[in-house]
Each structure stands twice: as structure tokens, then as C-alpha cells.
Copies of this chain bind each other. A is one copy, B any other.
Amino acid sequence: MKRLMLAAAVALAAAPAFADEGMWTLDNLPVKQLSERYKFKPSKSWVEHVRLSSVRFNDGGSGAFVSPEGLLITNHHVALGQLQKVSTAERDFVKDGFYARTREAEMKCPDLEVNVLQSMANVTKRVLKAVDSSQPEKVQNEQRKGEMARIEKESMEKTGLRSDVVELYHGGEYWLYRFKKYTDLRLVMAPEMQTAFYGGDPDNFTFPRHDLDVAFFRAYEDGKPAPVKHWFKWSADGAKEGDLVFVTGHPGRTDRLKTLAELVIERDAVLPYLLKQYKRRVLALKAYALTGPEEDRRAKDRIFSFENTIKAFTGQLEGLQSQKLMAQKSAEEKALRDKTLGDKKLSARYGDVWEKLASTAVEYGRRHKEYLARQRMAGTKLPEFAATIVRYVAEVQKPNDKRYEEFRDSALESLNLRLFSPAPIYGDFEEAVLADALAFAKDELGESDPWVKAALDGKAPAKQAAALISGSKLSDAAVRKALVDGGVQAVEASTDPLIVWARAIDPHYRELRKWYEDNIQASRAIQGKRLASARFAVYGKGTYPDATFTLRLSYGKVAGYGEGTTLVPYKTNFGGMYARGAAFDYKPPFNVMPRVLEAQGKIDPATPLDFVSTNDIIGGNSGSPVLNRDAEYVGLIFDGNIQSLVWRYAFTDEQGRAIAVHSKGILESLKTIYGMKSLADELTAAPRL
């Protein structure tokens, strides 16, 4: 009977009314649900403490302070990019791990930035006041973005803090988020990738799982460990079955509020196209990695990341292809639409919003391949740098509120950190990736596509990639900096083949971006605002916005689940990890690293390693803290299970689970496997808040 239930679950049962759903902004927590279901009332100081102890990693993840001396914890796979950048053929910190046993040994990261959210202010009224709704959407969009730029600039000048105006509810609300920024981050500890990512690609997105996906950094200020007032105390017990737990972090993107028409384009055009691209790219990377051990090392983090993406997209696509999900979405949309059309005032104001968003979706579907090809060259650093430099010098000549948003004054510091990073760049790797990107664009868009024509310049993709990369000096950060500093004149005069190339494709990029901003972005923001207003009018604000890589809190409980006819436990332990290795005769990806194997006799095999909870998370939550009622640190989010992939579109906790490393497992491995007693002491000796 349970098997039949599984089938139903895969087809996605409607989330039960009591599901612990939601990625809540900290100004609008689900106080009623928490109080009714868990008899928990977050105090103002609890919320503030949680906010100021939570950290955004701008490499694309989340994290937390866990000591008053600026100690930060996140996932190994969030740290992976930095680990790769400080590794060389001789010293491979990805493979061997990194262990700073003294403060002096802590190693500076080339281009990492983390942010801590200091304040949140609702600026919806001000943004909307700047928009003249009698104007065409395109003009409204310019007014809207101009005002956002002005608010950011004013705030930065006034406070010195990083200031972002964030758009929530697809334009329903605008908030000014101010961040304290740390850019001197040093690596403290990372285990071997094989230990962090135990079970490799087969076990990815599954549970039971046995990963020690953890890394420690330390924030520095003025060359010293940054003193912080807010950090999470390490829990002595960790998470137990049935516990109420919270996750703070920065979920990247959900599309739960999108209309049916938008989901259909996603399902039938965008996701299949992206999957095709990533699958091809990962094959190209693997072919490159096969050419030697150093090549394998260079490609490792990108292969890891692409395989992860492919699985996530596959799960999301299967969700959209399930009749049950689409029926649920359709019923939800119909309910809101019927209520809107049934009310004279609402109908007059918002009645046509679904049609407008549907025609925007169709328009996007018409050019999405071109847009994605010109917008991103997945995984190619040097070509991205070249294109960015060409745009950079042109954009900064414009007034701040007329620029592309990534070149606004408020964004330049973070951009410079990335653009002028001293991290090594490998020409042969860049060439392999660019060759595949060009070949894919050619195959998909055809040789006569103007961007493809400009990008290939009459050559075969592999030839063109070789010519561009081998002749370029852009892998030197100083060269890149000199070009930006030299402005339009220097860039115009440059004969670097990549700069010449970037100048050639730039008009095509700008043409399509203009199409996107005027036709797609404008409509999504203007109509999105109207749809949000209709939703607020009908349902009130007892809901949460789609994820936008801004700070959110989710709540849930520690719980196993049924799968097939059997049960998946809520946690795993070290004994299970050793057992899984032995069951595969330690064949990769189930080999156990020597120092981990040596510790087998010393670690109680029942020590928890990973656990699952019903917290609502998504990509971007990697590295998020899991907290108990006392805001103590009980776990470290690093994944969702396969059944959670559909959460991009709808939440259900029948089987979907967030996966975390258990706080006890982290502590035990620091002490017994890695001999990092002082780091363990720093976690546990920290005085209580």
C-alpha cells in the first residue's frame, strides 16, 4: 500500500494545510502558525540576534557567525570556488582539505565577500511614486529602476553600508536592505572534498546521506579577526527527532507565485533548453578533465556544480511535467482569478493581469535562446571578463540612475572584487569551455544569428576559442584593471583579441538586453506589482514572497519519511558512513579518506552525521544554519532531497526534506578526525549570548 502512496507523492500531492511552508522575510514572520503549532513566539531580540548572526556568501550561499571572533561556518561546496582558487597543481586543498591550526595559518581568500543584513526599510511607496502609470511600460520600468538607483546611492552615501533595493512579490514590494560587508575572509578549515561530498554524484540529492559538507572561514577587519556581537552558540545536543528548528539563509530563486502561462514557457522552452546546454557542457568539461590529473583538478569544481544544476533542473522539470502539480497550480490561479473578477473594483483594476503576463511569457519564449546565449556564457571566465570590461567603461560614463544595475555606484566595489581577483585562470580550461559555448550557440541559433556571426568571426568554434584565449593577456588581473582605469579610450585602443571580440559582440548584447528590459522585465515588474496587489487584496499579507537571494527564515521539524515501502530515518551516523564504504568495498565514490578511516575505532558509530527536516529551502540556502528555539546552532544545511526539487514551484513535506550536517558530527570530526581541538574549543567555549 505504501508503494502506491509513493506514486502519489511523486506525482506531488497538494501540500497539506499544516505544512511548515514558507521562506519568510524577517519583517513578516509566520507568528500565528508558530504560536499555534509549536507554541513558540519569536521575540524582537531573538529575531535581531538571528538576523545579525546570519551571513550571505556572495559566491552564492549562506552561512553564520559561530564565535565572537568572526568565525564563520558554511558548506564545503560554498567554499569550493575559493578552495579551487587558492589551490595549485602542487598544493590541492580541494583534494586534501585545509587545516589552519593557528591564526597565522589562516589563508586569505582572493575574492570572497560576505554580507550581514543591518537594516530593512520598506520603500515601496517611494519607488511607486516615481512611476507614472499612464506611461508605456518601458518608461515606467526606467522610472522604477532610476528611483531604485537613487535610493541606493543616497543610502550608501549616508551610511557607508552596501545598500540594495530588493524587489519582493515580483514587484509587489520594494525594500531597502543595508549590509555590513566583509571582504577580508580567510580560510580556517575544510575537509577533503571526498569527505565533504561522500557518495559523489550518485548520492547527491538523496537521503540517507553521509556528507561532512562543512568549511570554516574567519572575517577579518584591519588585519585582525573581526569582533562580532552576534553569533550562534553551539548546541550541546544538536537536533533530535521532532524538534522545531529554524533555517535562516538566502534562498536563490523560487517561482511559486508565477502564473500558469509563465510556468508553461518554463516547462516547454526554458528548462529543456538549459538542460540541453548544461548536459553538453558537462560532457565537454569531462572530456577536458580526462586529458590529465592537473586538468582533472582544474575542472573539478565546475563539473561538480554543473552536475548539481542538471539534477536540480531535471527534478524541477519533472515537477512541472507532473499533472498533479499543474492541476494544483491551475486550481490556485483559478481561485484567485475568480475572486478578482468577481469583485467589481478588483476586476477593473487587475482583471487583465493574467492575459498581460501570458503575452509577456510568449514574447520571452520567442527569443529566450538568443537571450540566454548572449546573457551568459556558462562557466567562461575570460570571455565574461572581456565583455564586462567593455560594458563597464561605457556604463560608468552615464549618470548613475541610467546605468545597467550591476554598474551602479553601489555595486562597483563588489564587482571590482570579482573582476580584479588575483585567482588563477587556466587558459586551456577557458578555451575548452569557450569552444563548447560557441559551438552550442552556433548549433542552436544558427550561423546567421548576428551574435553568433560576430562571436565566431567566420571561424570554426574551436579555432576561434583558441585564437581568442591564447592571444589574450586578460588572465592577468593588472591588465584588466589597467583597461578599466583607462576607460573607454583604453578599451577602444586595445588590440587584445578578447577585447576586440567583446567590442564586436557588445552591440548585439545591448540590443537584446534592451528588448528584454523593455518587453520582459518591464512587464514582469509592472504586471507583477498588479498581480501582487490583487493577491494582497484577496488574501491579505499572510504569505511570503518568492525567493530572491535575500535573507529569509523558514521553520520546520526534524523528521524522517516513508519511501517505497520502507522508512527513511531522520538522521545518519558515522557508523552508517563506514558501513556504506565497506558495502561498496571502498570503491569510488564510496572510498573513505585515510584519516577518516583511521578514526573509525575512536568515534562512537552512533554519533549523528546528517539529518533531515521539513524546512522550506532551495539553492542559495547552502551553508544556512539550522537553529533550535534558543537560536542555538544544531545543524548546517547542505542539500535538499530529490523530492524537494519541485519546491521551486510548490512546497510539500510529504517526502521533501532539507538535509543538514549535524552539529555533533561537525564537532566530533574536528576533534577526532582532524585534530583541530582549538577550533572545536572556539565553537563550544564561546560564552552564552
Which residues of chain A have a CB within 8 Å of any CB of chain B?
Answer: 1-4, 199, 202-206, 208, 241, 311, 314-315, 318, 560, 562, 564-567, 569-573, 575-576, 578-580, 582-585, 590, 600, 605-606, 642
**A315 closest partner in B (C-beta):** B3
CA–CA, A565 and B580, complex, Å: 16
Question: 12 other contacts beyond A578-B579, A579-B579, with CB at 8 A cut-off?
Answer: A3-B315, A205-B565, A206-B565, A206-B566, A569-B580, A569-B583, A570-B583, A571-B583, A575-B576, A576-B576, A576-B579, A582-B606
| Known contacts A564-B642, A566-B203, A576-B576; A3/B318 CB under 8 A | yes
How far is the CB of A68 from the nearest CB of chain B, in Å? 34
A2 to B560: give the CA distance in the assembly, Å: 24
How far, in Å, is A377 (CB) from chain B's closest CB?
Answer: 24
Do A605 and B206 touch across chains, with their CB atoms under 8 A apart?
no
Contacts of A562 in B (CB 8 A): 202
Given A203-B566, A564-B206, A566-B203, residue A605 in contact with residue B578 (CB < 8 A): yes
* Residue from B314, B573, B584, B600 in contact with A583 in the complex, judged by beta carbons closer than 8 Å: B573
With A314-B1, A605-B582, A642-B3 known as contacts, the answer to whether A202 contacts B575 (CB < 8 A) is no
CB-CB under 8 A from A584, the residues of chain B are 560, 567, 569
- The answer to whether B585 and A241 touch across the interface, beta carbons within 8 angstroms, is yes
Taking CB atoms, residues of chain B closer than 8 Å to A204 are 565
Contacts of A311 in B (CB 8 A): 565
Partner of A199, one of B566, B582, B606: B566
17 residue pairs A–B, Cβ–Cβ below 8 Å = A3-B318, A3-B642, A199-B566, A202-B562, A203-B566, A206-B564, A311-B565, A560-B584, A569-B584, A569-B590, A570-B583, A573-B579, A573-B583, A575-B575, A576-B580, A579-B606, A582-B606
A204-B565, A575-B605 as given contacts; A3 in contact with B585, CB under 8 Å: no
Contact call A208/B583, Cβ cutoff below 8 A: yes
Residue of B nearest to A643 (CB): B564
- In the bound complex, how far is the Cα of B570 from the Cα of A583, in angstroms? 7
Contacts of A573 in B (CB 8 A): 579, 582-583
Name which residue of chain B comes closest to A199, CB basis: B566
A562's nearest neighbour on chain B, judged by CB, is: B202
Interface centre among A571, A575, A578 (most CB of B within 10 A): A575
Complex interface: chain B residues within 8 A of A241 (CB): 585
Nearest B residue to A563 by beta-carbon distance? B564
A573 to B600 alpha-carbon distance, docked (Å) = 15
Closest 9 CB pairs of A and B: A576-B579, A569-B583, A582-B606, A575-B579, A202-B566, A202-B567, A206-B566, A569-B584, A579-B579
A642: B residues at CB distance < 8 A: 3, 564-565
Known: A3-B318, A314-B3. A576 touches B566 (CB 8 A): no
Q: In the bound complex, what is the Cα–Cα distance between A571 and B562 (angstroms)?
A: 22
- Shortest CB-to-CB span from A286 to chain B, Å, is 14
Q: Which residue of B has the minimal Cβ distance to A582?
A: B606
Contacts of A571 in B (CB 8 A): 583
A428 to B560, CA, bound (A): 38
Residues of the B chain whose Cβ atoms lie less than 8 Å from the Cβ of A565? 202, 204-206, 311, 642
